[in-house]
Structure 1
Amino acid sequence: MKKELFRIFNLSIRQNQSAVLSNLYLQVFEGEHTGILFNSFYERTAFLDFIDGKISEVEGIIYFEETAVTYQDYIRSYKKETAIIYESSRLMNSLSVYENLFYEQLSFLWITAKKYKKMAENLFEFFHLSLDVNQKVKSLTNFERIAVELVKAFLQGKKLVFLSNAASLLDAGEFEQLLSILKVLEKHGITFLIGETFDIRLFRLTCTLHLIKNGQTLRILPRSQICQEEIQRSLGSYSVLRHQKSHHQDKDIKESVLAFDNVQDILPAPLSFTLKKGQILKIICSSNRETDYLLSILRRRASAGNGSILFRGQPLQSVSLNQYLKSCGIIESNPRRTVLFHNMTVLYNLCVPLDSKIHNFWTNPGNQKGVEYTLKDIIPPGYLQMNIDQVPMEIVQKVIYCRWLLYVPELLVCMNPFSIIDTSLNQITLDMLRLLSSKGIAVLIISNNWTMDTEIEGEAVFLTQE
């Protein structure tokens, strides 16, 4: 008979007086791994904080090893049975690998340190890992760091391990090594709760996959139905529900603003697409490594090792760098931190790109009046002379996109436009993307989040590692 390890029933979490998760249900049995996929970064973070005991108050019923417990009891007595492997390290960078494994037990005697080094070496040999136990943790690769954290969970006798976006950090070879470690841990009684933002490869290990959208359990997929298309359909994918083709490429690439033809390099599959004026195209990646690679190409800081890229019908590398940068705008992730001048006015922030396009922009008062008139139905003129840090966040979000509405680049690249914490601003983002598209601007969205496919219309190209 199966033994229940962990269960939550009617879990609800509220933050800032708003429901983040509502009536969530999750049941994990010993030896049966469970997947959970959130359509929102915000909801996923709230759930991780719940597992990690960081939420001040929750509603619902929690069971651990078939015993009903309060959340405070879970934090005091049962959280120690769980481990969370985050995307970012929870190890102590100033310590060595062996010290991170045993620092709770280390003494200052040299003979004790030697003993623990040998134990660490034996552990890594058991898991077929080639790691120097004296190596400082800060120098480890993503895979090595994840491996050390998993070995530590094994050493500490954890019963439940939550893997958060582990697969998306690894290449194909490292992923296979990770599977080997997980199989060893599985044989020794560890059960996994696997949460991924987009990469679905680890979900092959799970018996069920819980899909969470708008803070609620949307669907629970059995193992036989866990695949990319079924996940997309369940979440409400524009591309699947409208039968759009992935990796679509228009034959008339000379009329395109941007065209990729069989570009691969580090990508899991050859990337081909055409993007024309006024179109929105979404490239959904399975890892940050891929989004960073594409951004470096579009910034002209790297070139494709194979395939071809055309900009306005010409090879990208043959286009003058200065002319290309004048024709291409980029909105990076978390633009409120990276692109705004926080000690300047709303008007100044709106006009920064225009200043590089129009000679002596600031010396002609008529230019500023033109900006006010153009945006009067989007940003009330009363905000223009205010400091950007003193206006509502809705206005700040509009400024980020209106600056390109004024500039009118031929191509606008948006990195993870829904990666903001305040999800109430997502509708503004969506409205601005539609407005930019209606003005003839080609919009390219690059993301590693399912929300880009389910909330933003337009053709999607999926770079997944099956």
Structure 2
Amino acid sequence: MDTKYVLKMNNISKDYFGNQVLKNINIQIAPGEIHALMGENGAGKSTLMNILFGMPVVHNTGGFDGSIEIDGVPVTIDSPQKAMELGIGMVHQEFMLLPGFNITENIKIGREITTPTFLSRIFSKSLEKLDQKAMAKDARKALDTIGLNIEEYAKVKGLPVGYMQFIEIAREIDKQGIKLLIFDEPTAVLTESEAERLLDTMRLLSSKGIAIVFITHRIDEVMQVTNSMTILRDGSLVNRVLTKETSAAKIAEMMIGREVEKLLDESEDTRTLNKDDIILKLSNFSVNMPGEKVNQLNLSIRRGEILGIGGLAGQGKLGIPNGIMGLYESEGTIHFDGEEIEPKVLGDALKKGIAFVSEDRRGVGLLLNDSIEQNIIFTAMQVQNKFLYNLGIAKLYHKKAASHHVKQMIKTLDIRCTGPEQAVGRLSGGNQQKVCIASALTLAPKLLIVSEPTRGIDIGAKKLVIELLAKLNREQGLTILMVSSELNELRSICDRIAIVSEGKVARVLKADDSDTDFGLAMSGVIEEVDKDE
């Protein structure tokens, strides 16, 4: 039998309800090898690891095609328990610790050591007593292995985030027979010194013969610690390479490189942009949005341009618009068209001329049970008193004016519907997004912020939304800030693209800059270069 590899995944394919997310992926990892699994958001990394770890989301949606071998033996992994029995452990990006328990209890949970009691001998093994000393001894050994000098009886609640990450690792290496550990973005929440220590821990585990799958977007860490890597793109295998035979630039190009699909037809651009005419300036801007924190960011937007904000998930790009609009606590200054925005005053940005189309159109942007008309005019009516008769002591709804405006919006934006009274919840995703944009435009803003404007809509609707944004910018001179996870979209429409990494602007690029430049910036390689010439 082939025992060269501790893990072989052969021709792995997976679809979710007709959407092919993995296409014939092969991956091989030897004992003691540190192997990086790399790719953009949506490349298929998480799905592949979910298959390896037997996660229910895979088996509840039809399973997968292909085969898995552990130490050369074909295996069926249909649950996380089965994966653990085979010697596979996973250190999750989201911590799986119980804060009310102490460190020993978290490390030994599910594998408690017990001693018989008088009652357990008579009635049931479940009445055995926990052997706290034996469990603490095991926990201490695991903590010492990774060099974590902390009391094993300390409560998890209140510990620094970095400690929690190492406790997760200690829990996995305490398991008997661990052959392979999956690290899912383990350094994302760590300080620089903690990240260095974690890489040292990975080297130590590797020296003991434990294979490691290292999922990360940080190319510098990959170059430091890994032996080899598999690069995925759009659910397909791009390449398997030895780390010593490649470079950061080549990795970035493999992760990003693909033909840029044209979402915007070529059209004459008669705009004249003045790079010194700044409409919005963010200075030392921080936003406390869970999972999307912004950290002392500086960014300027020119009047009349379309500025894109891109970056990997969790790096802070979504925090920027939500912070500007006051939806999450922020610090720093926001200068807008000669005034200062006060984000602590909810609605201040709206009143001063900034409209926002949220990434969460169904949860935040729309009143799903209400009509198209109500959705389009509601914010303008609340903030600007539009579509109201002012009778002094009372205000009445100006139905005629509202209906005229909404019909005009339906025509201008080509919202496919039965009429203004149709419930928004009955529209397609693309038409719901157009209603969100119509609502924002009804405010007649100086700046339109659109966050993930094409999320969840088909390619045809995407093209219509992108063309609409370009038309608003080209023909009406509307300044647009567009936040998107789809680099292709940003490169189709934006004048400049700011790539955000770890809550800061890593780099500001032009749409036609190289795939390597974009890949390096998205991977956190910060370079103070603003390509605005």
1:143 maps to 2:149: no
Following superposition, the deviation at residue 364 of structure 1 comes to: 3.4
Q: 2 CA distance for matches of 1:455 and 1:136? A: 51
Q: 1 CA distance for matches of 2:384 and 2:277? A: 24
1:98 to 89, 101, 104: 104
Following superposition, the deviation at residue 409 of structure 1 comes to: 2.6
Following superposition, the deviation at residue 212 of structure 1 comes to: 2.2
Alignment correspondent of 1:202: 221
- Secondary structure, aligned partner of 1:462: strand
Call closer, same or farther: CA 1:153–1:226 in 2, change over 3 Å: farther
Following superposition, the deviation at residue 317 of structure 1 comes to: 6.5
8 Å CA contact 2:278, 2:300 repeated in 1? no
Worse-matched range after superposition: 86-95 or 444-453: 444-453
Structure 1 stretches lacking a partner, 5+ long: 240-249
Which is richer in helix? 1
1:436 to 450, 453, 469: 469
1:188 maps to 2:208: yes
8 Å CA contact 2:40, 2:312 repeated in 1? no
Structure 2 stretches lacking a partner, 5+ long: 115-126, 261-271, 288-292, 389-396, 502-523, 526-533
The one-letter code matched in structure 2 to 1:410 is K
The one-letter code matched in structure 1 to 2:280 is L
Alignment correspondent of 1:231: 252
The one-letter code matched in structure 1 to 2:178 is K
1:325 to 333, 345, 350: 350
Deviations 1:420-448 (A, max 9, x none): 5x4x5466356424422431333334467
8 Å CA contact 1:346, 1:387 repeated in 2? yes
1:344 to 354, 370, 374: 370
8 Å CA contact 1:7, 1:62 repeated in 2? yes
Q: 2 CA distance for matches of 1:165 and 1:454? A: 27
Deviations 1:376-405 (A, max 9, x none): 352124164233333333333333333224
1:401 to 419, 428, 437: 437
Following superposition, the deviation at residue 109 of structure 1 comes to: 7.0
Q: 2 CA distance for matches of 1:404 and 1:88? A: 35
Alignment correspondent of 1:163: 183
1:84 maps to 2:90: yes
Worse-matched range after superposition: 355-364 or 92-101: 355-364
What is the TM-score when the length of structure 1 is the normalising length? 0.80
1:69 maps to 2:75: yes
8 Å CA contact 1:383, 1:391 repeated in 2? no
1:259 to 257, 278, 281: 281
Following superposition, the deviation at residue 155 of structure 1 comes to: 0.9
Q: 2 CA distance for matches of 1:252 and 1:457? A: 16
- Secondary structure, aligned partner of 1:353: helix
Q: Percent identity?
A: 16
8 Å CA contact 2:90, 2:183 repeated in 1? yes
1:23 maps to 2:24: yes
Q: 2 CA distance for matches of 1:86 and 1:330? A: 34
Alignment correspondent of 1:120: 139
Q: 2 CA distance for matches of 1:28 and 1:455? A: 38
Q: What value does the CA root-mean-square deviation take over the aligned residues?
A: 4.0
The one-letter code matched in structure 1 to 2:142 is L
| Structure showing greater relative contact order (alpha-carbon pairs closer than 8 Å, 6 or more residues apart) | 1
